[in-house]
Structure 1
Amino acid sequence: MKVPMINLPAQFKNIRDEVWAELTEVFETQYFVLGPRVRKLEEQMAALANMPFGIGVSSGTDSLILALKAAGIGPGDEVITTPYSFFATVSAIVRVGATPVFADVDEVSFNLDIRKTKKAITSKTRALLPVHLFGLVCEPEEWRNLAKQHKLYLIEDACQAVGAKRAGYTAGGIGDFGCFSFYPTKNLGGAGDGGMVLARDEQLAQYVRMDRVHGARDRYYHDRIGICGRLDEVQAAVLVVKMKYLAVWNEVRRERAALYEKLLKDAPVTIPTAPADAYHTYHQYVIRAPHRNELRDYLRARDIACDVYYPVPLHLQPCFAFLGSGKGQFPVAEQLSEDTLALPMSAELTEDDVYAVVKEVRGFYAQRA
C-alpha cells in the first residue's frame, strides 16, 4: 500500500470549486498585489493568535528577516535560537547582520531548552528566537518572563505551528512577533511561497509593512531600506479558502497522531508526546527510531514515505562554521539528527494509511529481533 507524506491533490479535490472561484475573481479584477484578500488573511491570522497586527509577506524566511529588521537587530547583536530547525531560522539572523547564538534543545519536546537559553544570555543579546517545532508550542509564560526580565525581543518562529496552542496562548501570539510560513506542505499552505508576521506593537508593525515594500511609507517615499517581500493576492486567494478548514484539518492530524500513539506504544521507537496544556498540531509526526537510516530505507522500499527532519543540525552546517560551534557542543540536537524520522502526516491521511505505516514499522523491527 502506497502512503505519501502529504496528499495535496486529495486536499485540493475537496476545495477545488472554492479555490477556482477566488482565483477567477483575482484574474478578473487583475488586482494582484496587496489586495483585499491579503488584507482579509492578515485580519484572520491576527485574530487567530489574538494579536493586533498582521502583515502578509513573501515567505516564512522573509517573515523572520522582516521581524528582526523591524526590531532594529543587526551587526553587534546576538540572537539566541535552536540548532535543530529549518535553515531559515538561523540564516535570517545572519542576513540582518546579527550573530546567532545556539542553545541546545529539550530531548522530549525537541524545542529550544529554556534552561540552556538562560545560560547563553550575554550583554549583547537582543532577542530570543524559539521555534514551535513540528507544531508543539514552547512554554509561553516562561519565555515571556525570560524576555521581559532581560528586556529582550521575543520572536516566535511559528512557521510549523499555525493554530497550535498552549496554556491559553496560540502560536504567534506569545511574543513581540509571530512569524509564519505558507509553504504548500504546511498545515495552512498556499500555492507557492508566502508568509505572515504578527506584531504586538503598532510602530513595529508599521516597520514591517514598510520594509516589505522597499521601506516605503508611501509610494516612492522611502524612510527605510527594505526588501520586496509582499504576499501576493493569488496566494492569499488560496489561503483564505483553506483558512476556513484549518481547525478541522488540525483536529484530523491530532486524531491520526493519537492512532499512531496507540499502535506504536509498545514498539521499539519513541513516539512524540505533548504536555497536557498543549494543543499539538503535528505539522510532522516525528519518532525517534533505533537504526533510523535502515528503517527509512525499509519503509521507502515498501512505498511508505518518510523523511528526516533534520539530518544535520544547524551548528554543523558548513556555511555556519564561522560561528565556531563544533561537534559535541549541542549533543541533544546532534542525537536527534541521527535518530529521528518523520512518518506520513496530513489531514488527508486515512486510518488505513496509519495502520499500513505501523505494520511496516513493526515488520522492520520484527525481522531484526
Structure 2
Amino acid sequence: MKLKQLIPILKIMPFIVLVIWALSARLPYFSEIGKDINAYQRAIEELFSGKNPYEWTIKSFSNPDDPGNHGYSYLPGFLYLFGFLYAVALKFPALDFQVLWKIPILLADLGVGFLLFKYLFKRDYLFSLAAAFVWFFNPFSMFRTGYTYVDPIPVLLLLVAMIFLEKDDVLAGATYALAVIFKTFPIALFPVFVLLSKNRIKFLAAGLIVSVAFAVPFMSNIETFTTFLNGSLLVHNERFVQGRPFLFYISYYYNVELFQILPFQFYSLMSMFFGWVLVLIAYFIFKLKNKYILSLIALSNFFLFTPVLNRTYVLWLIPTLILGSYYLFKSKKLVYYLVVILFHIFYSWYLLQWRDGFHIWRP
C-alpha cells in the first residue's frame, strides 16, 4: 500500500482511539438505573395493557409537591423504542431491560461523534478531532458518572436532519419530525428548516406523514387524542422553574427579580418562539443563510429564556455550537478553538452549581 493511500487510514486512527476511550468511560455504568426508567416502564406497561399512559402523566403533573414523580410526558418516540426493547426483555428474560434500553442511546452517542468527525474531516482535520472530543468528553459525561440519560437520540436525529437540509427535503423532514417525536426542543429550529428547504412542501409533507404515523395509536377517538396532546405537550404549561435556568440563576444571585414579575409561560414561549423571530431577522435582514449559524441563534435563545434547564439539556446545544462556531470563525481558527474551550469551561462551572445547594424547583 502506497503512503498516499495509507494517510487517510492513519488520520482515522485518532478518532478510533477517541471512540474506544469514550466506550471505556461509558460501559462501566451500563448497569446503573436512573429515576426516569420508572416512568418509562409504567407507561410501556399501560400501553401494552391497552390503557392510555398519558392519563397518568396528566394526573402526576397535577401534584406540584411531588415533582420527581411525573409520568411519561414526551411525544411517543421513546415510548415505542423502549416498548420494543421491553418486549424483547419479556421474551428473553436473560436480557436485562435496564441494559437493553441503553444500547440505542450508546449507538446514538457514538453516532453524533462520528457525524461531527465525518462532516469536518475533509474541511478541517484538526477541527474534526476536536469536535469528536468535545462531544464524547463533554463536562456532563465526565461529571455525571451514571449513563442514564436519553438525550443522544434526539440530538443525533436533529444533527442528521440538519445535514440533510438543503440536500434532501424528504429525509430532512422525516428525521426532523423524528427528532421532535423524541424531544420537542427541535421545534425551536423549525423556521431554519422551512426557510432553507429546497421544496418546503416536500419537507412539511414528510414531517407530517412521520408525525401522524407515530400518533396513530392515540387517534382512535377525540378523548384519547386530546389526552395524548395534553400529556405529551400541554402538560408542560403546568411546570415551574426547574434546574438552573440562566435567567433564574442571575435573578437568584444578583437580586434581579425576573420570574416574579413575568409569569412562567412568558419565558417558556420566549425560549421557543422568540428564536423564530431572531432567525427571520437574521435571514431576511442580515441575509444570513448558513443553517448551522441560524440554528445556533435559535438554540442560544432557547437556553437564555427557558425556565426549565436540567443538566442534560446543554447536550442539545453541543453539535450546533461546534458546527455553527466553525462557520462563524472558519477563517480564525484560534477564535474557534477559544469558543469551544470557553464553552467547555463554562459548562463545567455551571454543572458544579448543582453541588452547592442551589436547586430551587419552585419560586
**Common fold, TM-score beyond 0.5?**
no
More helix by share: 2
Flag the structure with higher strand content.
1
Q: TM-score, normalised by structure 1?
A: 0.28
